[in-house]
Every structure is written in structure tokens, then in C-alpha cells.
Amino acid sequence: MSTHPVIKAEGLTVEFGGRRSIFRREPTAVVQALSGVSVSVDRGETVAVVGESGCGKSTLGRALLRSAPITGGKVLFQGQDITALEGEALRAMRRHFQMIFQDPYASLNPKMTIFETLAEPLRVHTNEDSKAIRERVLEMLEAAGLDRNFAERYPHEFSGGQRQRVAIARAAILRPDFIVADEPLSALDVSLQLQILKLFASLKQQFALTYLFISHDLARVFGFADRIVVMYLGKIVETGSAREVYHAPAHPYTRALIAAAPSPTSTAETPALKGEIPSPLNPPKGCRFHTRCPLAMDVCSQVEPRMTALGGQHSAACHLVTPA
């Protein structure tokens, strides 16, 4: 029984661009999508990664699945370093971690039936015969809340919510050790969002799944995730259990996110954040949030704050917080 976390990132850095071409004299601009990010997910946990555009949450999800180029740092799967894994070895490894994408209208092959789409992971990674595969596909369809008769139909015959169920079923069918869900609810209507969230919860129970749930909707994930990770411009600014972060948000950005989320009953005036989100091409020096922070001090523009433990699972990267 492994005591390692299912997936762990250590000082992960992902950069895009910067390729030199024989036709250009200067290299193209480098975007640091992730900068020295360390995070781990234990078996059975649901960890939510939240943040706004450019924070790097999607890149983190993809990097953990080795679907994004890693420039620095390490990714460890159950203690094993998979950072440099390539080719056939990496491909075979993929049965252990799967991804669910945001757009249900784009993530299913329009030329494959639902059955073929769900059978694909089984055909690629197992040696099961067609009868066994058929059994598992139909079982998965039912678990995902879809009628067994839908198997022979094509994606365009289904609504967004149903397609997303198929995408989730595809990710879960191999009972992977780890699933990254990249904004799986964002393209759905409000009432469907809750239905699909319930599906996530029921599948987790049924198949003992572990999730990394990426979302921009903070309110949704508080009730659903065990732990929250808040990101800003390629860095983690706060992390803790859902209740810790909700009841005592330590980082000014987390507080701003919570205050900005629409709420029918709160009457508090939302504190304004100055300016706009800086371009990831040129992140601010020191604490990346200091240009917009209402509480910024001199040190914030010079020294990058380190993650400070605040007790329990809670920690934040801010010069203003005092350690527990």
C-alpha cells in the first residue's frame, strides 16, 4: 500500500513560446504559465484549483498529466518520477490518469459512436475481449445516468449535458488513479451544472476516484472539494481545506475572489482590486499580486513571499500573514 500521494508536483515550471526559428532573429516571447508550483493530491481526495484567466490552473492540470511541456521541476506519480517519461512508456502510463475537458461539444469524436468512444480506452489499454468490453461500456453508461440504448448513437444527437456525461464516463471507465477535470461545468446551464456535479460525486463514491477539479466558480467547489488551491498568475497563493479557506481566507486575492462572487444575500461592499490582471509575459516583481493588492507594502514589490503554514492544511504566500 503506497503512502505516496497519487500525484505530486514539485517546483513545477511550464513555459510556452521562446522557440527560435531560423527565420527570426530574436526568440519569441516566453510566457511562464506555471512558476515553481508545488502541490500534491492524496488518494481519494478532491482538490479544487481555482483562479482567474492566466493563473495557470489549466496548465497545471495538463502538466500533471504530462500533456504540457515541462520546463522545470518534477511530477511524481505514486512516488515515481514521470517528468521525463516519453513515447510508449508515457502512453502506457496514461491508463492511470485521465482528463475531462471543458467543452462537451468538442471533446467527443463526431465520427465515433458513444460505444466506440467509451470502448476506446479499454481497447487501447486492456486485452479484454469484445464481450467483456461491451459489458463494461454499458455498465458505465448506466453509471453515468445515460440510457443503454444511447450506445449506438453519435455525439451530435445529444445535448451538452449528455455529452459531458459521456466524457466523464470515458475518463472513469478505466478506473484511473487520478482524474483531472478542466472546468467541466463551465459550458453547461446552471441546473445541469448541479446534476453533473452530483454525477462526479456519485462516481467518486462508486469507483473510489481521485479528482483534481479546475474551476473558476469558487462557490461551487467549496461545497464539493476537500481541499482548495488558489492560483494567481502562475503561482499558488493559498491552499487549505475548503472550510479553512472559506471561513478564514488569508490571502488578499482569495478574499477578493470570495467577495466578488455574486451572492443574493450579502450586502457587504466588494473591495475593489486596482487595475487589471497583468500580462503573463511580464509578471510583476516580488509578489505577483502586489500591483492590485489593497494591502500592498514596500516589501511586496521586492521580495516574493513564501508559503507560510497557518495550521491544519492551511497555508498562504503573503507577507502579511503570520505563521501559526
Partner 1 sequence: MSDAPLSLFLRRHTIGMIGLAILVCAVGSALLAPWIAPYSPTKIDLMARLVPPFWVEGGSFKHLLGTDNLGRDVLSRVIYGAQVSLSVGAGAVVLGAIIGSTVGLLAGYFGGLVDAALSFLINVQLSFPFTLLAIFLLATFGGGFVPVVVVVALATWVNYARVVRGQVMSVKNQEYVAAALSVGVPTRGILRRYILPNTMSSIIVVASFSMAQAILTEAALSFLGVGIGGATPSWGTMLNDGRNYLQNAWWMTAMPGLATALTVLAGNLCGDWLQDRANPRLRK
Partner 2 sequence: MSGMVLEVEGLNISFHGGSGTVHAVRNLSLSVAHGEVVGVVGESGSGKSVTMMSVVRLLDTRRTDIRARRMQLDGKSLQDLRSRQLESVRGPVVSYIFQDPLSALNPLLTVGRQITEGMRRHKGISRSEARRRAIDLLRRVGIPSPEVRINQLPHQMSGGMRQRVMIAMALATDPKLLIADEPTTALDVTVQAEIVRLVQSIQSERGMAMVWVTHDLALLAKLAHRVVVMYAGRIVEDSSAEQLYAQPSHPYSAGLLASTSRIDDPFTEQDPIPGTPPDPKVVSPGCSFAPRCNRALPRCLAEVPELSAMANGSRAACFNPLTEAAA
Interface residues toward partner 1, by CB under 8 A: 65, 67, 91-95, 98-99, 101, 103, 106-112, 116, 120-121, 124-125, 167, 170
Q: Which is nearer to partner 1, 105 or 246 (CB)?
A: 105
Query: For the window 171-190, what string marks contact with partner 2 as x by the rule CB under 8 A?
Result: ------------------xx
Q: Which one among 21, 191, 205, 322 touches partner 2, defined by CB under 8 A? A: 191
CA dist 216 and 220 (Å) reads 9
Q: Which is nearer to partner 2, 13 or 186 (CB)?
A: 186
Q: Which is nearer to partner 1, 180 or 321 (CB)?
A: 180
CB of 77 to partner 1, least distance (A): 14
CA dist 2 and 17 (Å) reads 37
Give whole-number Cα distances, 225 to 102, 181, 200, 222, in Å: 18, 12, 11, 6
CB of 292 to partner 2, least distance (A): 9
- Going by C-alpha positions, the residue among 230, 197, 201, 226 that lies closest to residue 216 is 230
- Stretch of 26-34, 84-92, 108-116, 214-222 contacting partner 2, by CB under 8 A: 214-222
CA dist 174 and 197 (Å) reads 20
202 binds partner 2 (CB under 8 A): no
Residue written as cell 527560435? 20
Pairing outcome for strands 30-41 and 80-81? unpaired
CB of 17 to partner 1, least distance (A): 17
CB of 106 to partner 1, least distance (A): 4
Q: Which one among 30, 138, 259, 320 touches partner 2, defined by CB under 8 A? A: 259
Instruction: Give, as one character, the DSSP assignment of residue 84.
Output: T
Binding to partner 2 in span 117-156, by CB under 8 A: none
CB of 88 to partner 2, least distance (A): 40
195 binds partner 2 (CB under 8 A): yes
Cβ atoms 247, 258 nearer than 8 A: no
Q: Which is nearer to partner 1, 41 or 122 (CB)?
A: 122
Per DSSP (E only), the strands in the chain are 7-17, 30-41, 46-50, 72-77, 80-81, 97-100, 178-182, 211-215, 227-232, 235-241, 307-309, 315-317
Taking CA 181 as the corner, what is the angle to CA 140 and CA 253, rounded to the nearest 5 degrees?
Answer: 155
List contacts with partner 2 (CB under 8 A).
52-53, 159, 161-162, 189-195, 197-198, 216-220, 222-223, 242-243, 246, 256-267, 270, 272-273, 275-277
